[in-house]
Structure 1
Amino acid sequence: MRRLLFTTAVVFFLANMAFAQAPELPGWKLVWSDEFNYTGHPDPTKWGYEEGYVRHNELQYYTVNRLENARADGHNLLIELRKETPESFLPTSINDEYHRYTAASVNTRNTASWTYGRFEIMAKMPEGKGTWPALWFLSPLRTPRVPGPPQPRGPDGREVQGQGGYSGGESSQGEIDLMEAWGSRANRTAVHIHGTKGHTPSKTVPVDDMYGKFHLYAMEWYPDHMDFFLDQDKILTYTKDPELGWSFDHPMYLIMNIACGGPDEPAPDDSKLPQFMTVDYVRVYQKVVK
């Protein structure tokens, strides 16, 4: 009986190890991943946080090391947008009805960045007007945004034209938006590549129930082009153009966040909160050099 229990335990352990391991891809080598098969805070050796009101006069306050906004549940990473007023986070000067949300923006800025490779994120997105989830990449060399106080908003909760909730600069180090979605545009995802000279190739495509189903958002980044995928379908190729410059020959790091409000979205529907970005895994591969 004791031997049977031991054998069963070993089989169970090996089965779980196999389940947790990322599959091999021909021609690629796995160099970084998080399968979120643990509980508690996102792994601090892999993830850091943005904090405060960071950009675009959005309505959420990004918290740090707060399980209510970012946690692993043994299977997935949950990034949670909540309706609440945590007084310890909010400056006393903010007393309007809109700035009453918390969320998380996790990133690898201080832990990992990559030049070229295949990037895979399996995730479900939050639902409802006002939500603004994103999976995106920036250069660690880019000048960080300096958080600033939120500005007044109109009666519908939208940003007042010309206002902004941050200050600070940014350089021409490029930005890659692997997945960007807005709650007011249901079941649609957009890819944006922000390069030099104001050139921003983009593609918006429909997604089959992006709130209830996991979908694979993937990018293959090469020295002279990028390919973007939704599940197994290639949805966009961006090729280097000498006339336009190329901002993508240096390391970039990953950001995963939920925002709400901002210049293009109203305030969220509070009756639909909380909302979640649920991430099954993040995997980074690099080409095998023969």
Structure 2
Amino acid sequence: MTLKLKTSLPAVICMGAILTACGGSASKPLSTAPTPPPPQAAVLPVPSAAPEGDDFHPSNKGWFLAWSDEFLGDELDRSKWEVEKSCWGGGNEERQCYTDRPENIEVINGLLRLKAYPETYTGPQYPQGWPDGSGGQITQQYTSGKVRTRALADWTYGRFSARMKLPKGQGTWPAFWMMPIDNVYGGWAASGEIDIMEAVNLGATCGECSGSEGENRTLGALHYGGVSPQNKFQSSRNTIPGGENSKDDYHVYAVEWGEDQINWFVDDELFWSLDSSEWESGAVSKETHPHAPFDQNFYLMLNLAVGGRLSEDNNAGGFVANNFPAEVLVDWVRVYQCDYDGASSQNCMAEANQ
């Protein structure tokens, strides 16, 4: 599939660390979803509050808390989060409609709960904010939840972290990621994308993974370069720390994003770093814009995708309907800024390049 993107699109479009274009590679067609069970059969138990866990301690490194959501109420804070409504599949042939319903998005017991269900649902093709409107109606066989800070909170540089418990199974694809509030350098991916955490098919067959528990890695990624299909990306996978069954626990996923460097962490353990010599935007020269496209305001997103190319082209391959319903549990989301050097954040960052 070739996805035709407009350079005026808002930054709401694509994620996927191994995709060569926003629409993905054309390596093989995705299998057709089997007929799902009726919605009343899809039941998820109410989650307990997250157990206590270690937090990053920003005062030791000069970071200060600038924005957060601890999800302590009984409903989503609409002053912090916008709910995306769309059924187009994110350019990756995902199988869900994102809805603004408690069936898919819930705040309970101190947790944000994004829930994916087998359910026939018809909704708008494109999300709110799409330049040509929401398009026609699309019917999908799954629903799920996606929240974002678009038009409510965005930042250039800082530390961005979330404590999360992830779903398992072939076909699951949760993500914590960032997109630019404006397409300053053009459409995806010329204006960039920062994937803080993606996890596909946890627990599924994995010949490259350590141990015997199957897929036990998350990944970080950076998308940049030209407008698709001239986009570029880099990504790195990381075994979730904590040994056997660690994928069943809560973990803190974070990036430190500075002017000259971006660092990726799980549980405050640095596993990957890139510096500004390793990225660029095809819209401007490196000499005049050495940090582009990652020199503009980005907003945060959390979602649970159902299937899609990154999931269905990896591990055991294909899509397993019995892995749904599924859910992502988010204990908190926190944004830190640097106390020492203002905008660039470099003086607070981990010593990845020393």
Both proteins in one fold, TM over 0.5: yes
Contact 1:128 1:268 (C-alpha < 8 Å) held by counterparts: no
Please identify runs of 4+ aligned residues in structure 1 that moved more than 6 A: 88-93
Equivalent residue pairs, number: 241
CA deviation map 1:172-231 (0-9, x unaligned): 110001111111462211111112254422110111545420011011111110111111
What is the rounded CA distance, in whole Å, between the counterparts of 1:93 and 1:28 in structure 2?
Answer: 44
Contact 1:126 1:133 (C-alpha < 8 Å) held by counterparts: yes
Contact 2:123 2:137 (C-alpha < 8 Å) held by counterparts: no
The aligned amino acid for 2:78 is: P
CA displacement at 1:273 relative to structure 2: 2.1
CA displacement at 1:92 relative to structure 2: 8.0
Q: CA RMSD in A?
A: 2.7
1:275 alignment partner, one of 311, 326, 337 = 326
What is the rounded CA distance, in whole Å, between the counterparts of 1:265 and 1:233 in structure 2?
Answer: 25
Q: What is aligned with 2:258?
A: 222
What is the rounded CA distance, in whole Å, between the counterparts of 1:141 and 1:93 in structure 2?
Answer: 26
Query: Does 1:174 find its partner at 2:207?
Result: no
Q: What is aligned with 2:95?
A: 59
Q: What is aligned with 1:251?
A: 297
CA deviation map 1:143-196 (0-9, x unaligned): 9xxxxxxxxxxxxxxxxxxxxxxxxx5351100011111114622111111122
Query: Does 1:73 find its partner at 2:108?
Result: yes
What is the rounded CA distance, in whole Å, between the counterparts of 2:237 and 2:58 in structure 1?
Answer: 30
The aligned amino acid for 2:96 is: Q
Q: What is aligned with 2:350?
A: none
Query: Does 1:240 find its partner at 2:276?
Result: yes
Q: What is aligned with 1:119?
A: 160
What is the rounded CA distance, in whole Å, between the counterparts of 1:227 and 1:265 in structure 2?
Answer: 24
TM-score normalised by L of structure 1 = 0.75
Cα distance change, pair 189–22 in 1 and its aligned pair in 2 (3 A): closer
CA displacement at 1:74 relative to structure 2: 3.0
TM-score normalised by L of structure 2 = 0.62
Cα distance change, pair 133–241 in 1 and its aligned pair in 2 (3 A): same
More deviation, 109-118/24-33: 24-33
What is the rounded CA distance, in whole Å, between the counterparts of 2:340 and 2:249 in structure 1?
Answer: 35
* Secondary structure in structure 1 of the residue aligned to 2:164: strand
Aligned-pair identity (%): 33
What is the rounded CA distance, in whole Å, between the counterparts of 1:243 and 1:111 in structure 2?
Answer: 27
CA displacement at 1:257 relative to structure 2: 0.4
Contact 2:97 2:121 (C-alpha < 8 Å) held by counterparts: no
Cα distance change, pair 171–181 in 1 and its aligned pair in 2 (3 A): closer
The aligned amino acid for 2:337 is: Q
Task: Could you tell me which runs of 5 or more consecutive residues in structure 1 were left unpaired when the two chains were aligned.
Answer: 1-18, 144-168
Q: Which has the greater radius of gyration?
A: 1
Contact 2:178 2:298 (C-alpha < 8 Å) held by counterparts: yes
Cα distance change, pair 240–78 in 1 and its aligned pair in 2 (3 A): same
Q: What is aligned with 1:287?
A: 338
Query: Does 1:103 find its partner at 2:144?
Result: yes
The aligned amino acid for 1:122 is: R
